[in-house]
Structure 1
Amino acid sequence: MKTKLLLLALIMQSTTSVFSQSKTVEYKDGNQVLSGISVAPSKSLKNKPGILILPAWMGIDDHAKDSANRLAAMGYTTFVADIYGVDQRPKDYSEAGKKAGYFKKNIKEYQTRIQLAYDQLIKQGANPDDIVVMGYCFGGTGAIECARTNMKVKGIVSFHGGLGRDETRTIDAITPKVLVLHGADDPYESKEEIEKFQTEMRTAKADWQMVYYANAVHSFTDKNAGNDNSKGAAYNEKAEKRSWEAMLTFLKEVL
């Protein structure tokens, strides 16, 4: 019993040491104050790779923070971006839809907010030559935008993100490697939009992968999304675990 208690204490101490390195970081976009979350690993991997995390449409949530902590525990410097601002966080899904919709329509403003968060990740000690951007839902859309603008990153990971693109935009060559993790039954991405995205990746001569998860709809990594697929967004434990492992494999490859 004493051995078990000692082991539990050591585990808790180790977990605390990782979590204690989490801090709030304020920065600005003009007059708008932004507040992201930085998590430094207790022991960095070689070359100090960093991961920028773009949260879903509700803004910084437990899901994004949990991902930041898990990755920091593996040795990555992580930063959760604040896209909306400290006084602009949505109060409900309706408000989140409007705010996320604004940035999707005003894509350059979204790109600016992502770039500012990227700069903060570097300031927190991440190696600018070894960065990956990952995002969930609305954040997955943002991650793909990082590929389209050729942000100076090694890789892009989109979990159930939006794939659409304004067709008036030119398609430039894409340098970062791209991993798209997608629910096979996601009702928010039409067959036509998926085909256009894949054509875009080919035209851009991107190094891309797209993985489909059976019986998974939108938000399949979010434990707060419920379990009713008929609503279009629901948690899927198997898809969550598989997609996380796919991302870890991708990180090992590109970083």
Structure 2
Amino acid sequence: MTTITTRTVEYPADGLTMIGHLALPAGAGPRPAVLLGPEGLGLNDFQRSLADGLAELGYVALAFDIHGGRYFTDPQEMLARALPLLADPDRMREIGQAALDVLRAEPRTDPDRIAAVGYGTGGAIALELGRAGVDLRAIGTINALTTGRPGEAARIRCPVWAGVGSEDLIMAAAQREAFAAEMQAAGVDWRLVVYGGALHAFHHPPVDHDTVPGVGHHPLHARRAWRDIVDLLAECLPVTA
């Protein structure tokens, strides 16, 4: 296994002190980088491990924070913070841009070769960065088929890949159709993969606390979705050194 290094990074956003997890690949010199956004519950060890996995593949990876260091084990507390955030594109962009600034400031990052990958709320933030016209090489989301303000998807300048479970009632068929229509009307290079039989947050291992209804782990599709994201990065953001 490739030796990587990790560290905690603190930075301000949304009136909070965010606590992100930065993972650096072995070697020296600039590398392509990935901004990694967590589910609505917040940043936890699972997302940190994904950032570490990306670093092992040769990427600089920042798993960014959305709740000022908090991880919500009470779904109602989570919804009370996440729903207003999801309804406010400018707040999402602020949170994403603050994390992106940290990632770009890292000396190992090639600032011209950055992708954004996110899950749930973190995926919505990745999409809003694209709709803001941020220069990204790729956007990948799971469980985040959020639509934006009219016309702003035309600012997206990179391929968009999205994954969702067929039985995800939070991102149900009508939401999938609205997302696809938005991407198509904007002329985006987009793909949508529907994983048969999977629920919301199917990619996330089981947790030991209450969650919102309709959440469930699907190990096989979780592995497939991760491979699909890695393939997206390999296509749009190859590691060449």
Fold shared, TM-score > 0.5 on shorter chain = yes
Q: SS of 1:241's equivalent?
A: helix
Number of equivalent positions: 233
Tell me, in whole angstroms, the C-alpha distance in 1 between the residues paired with 2:10 and 2:143. 28
Q: Which residue of 2 aligns with 1:8?
A: none
| Alignment match of 1:127 (pick from 101, 105, 110) | 110
| TM-score (structure 1 length as normaliser) | 0.84
The code of the aligned residue for 2:43 comes to I
Q: Which residue of 1 aligns with 2:206?
A: 224
Tell me, in whole angstroms, the C-alpha distance in 2 between the residues paired with 1:31 and 1:140. 21
Aligned-residue offset at 1:150: 2.2
| Alignment match of 1:68 (pick from 37, 51, 66) | 51
| Alignment match of 1:191 (pick from 147, 151, 173) | 173
**Bigger relative contact order (CA 8 A; separation at least 6):** 2
Aligned-residue offset at 1:47: 5.4
- Superposed CA deviations along residues 16-69 of structure 1, whole A, max 9, x for unmatched, are x42xx111111123753222111111136x851000011111211112101001
- Superposed CA deviations along residues 170-227 of structure 1, whole A, max 9, x for unmatched, are 543421210001111111123222211111101110001111111111001111259x
Q: Which residue of 1 aligns with 2:95?
A: 113
The gaps in structure 1 that reach 5 residues or longer are 1-10
Tell me, in whole angstroms, the C-alpha distance in 2 between the residues paired with 1:170 and 1:52. 21
Q: Which residue of 1 aligns with 2:22?
A: 38
Q: Which residue of 2 aligns with 1:48?
A: 31
> Are the aligned partners of 2:130 and 2:153 in contact in 1 as well (CA < 8 Å)?
no
> Are the aligned partners of 1:138 and 1:162 in contact in 2 as well (CA < 8 Å)?
no
> Are the aligned partners of 2:168 and 2:198 in contact in 1 as well (CA < 8 Å)?
yes
Q: State the identity %.
A: 25
After TM superposition, where is structure 1 displaced by more than 4 Å over at least 4 residues in a row? 168-171
Structure 1 residues 126-135 or 187-196, which shifts more? 187-196
> Are the aligned partners of 2:9 and 2:20 in contact in 1 as well (CA < 8 Å)?
yes
Aligned-residue offset at 1:140: 1.6
> Are the aligned partners of 2:159 and 2:190 in contact in 1 as well (CA < 8 Å)?
yes
The gaps in structure 2 that reach 5 residues or longer are none
Higher relative strand content: 2
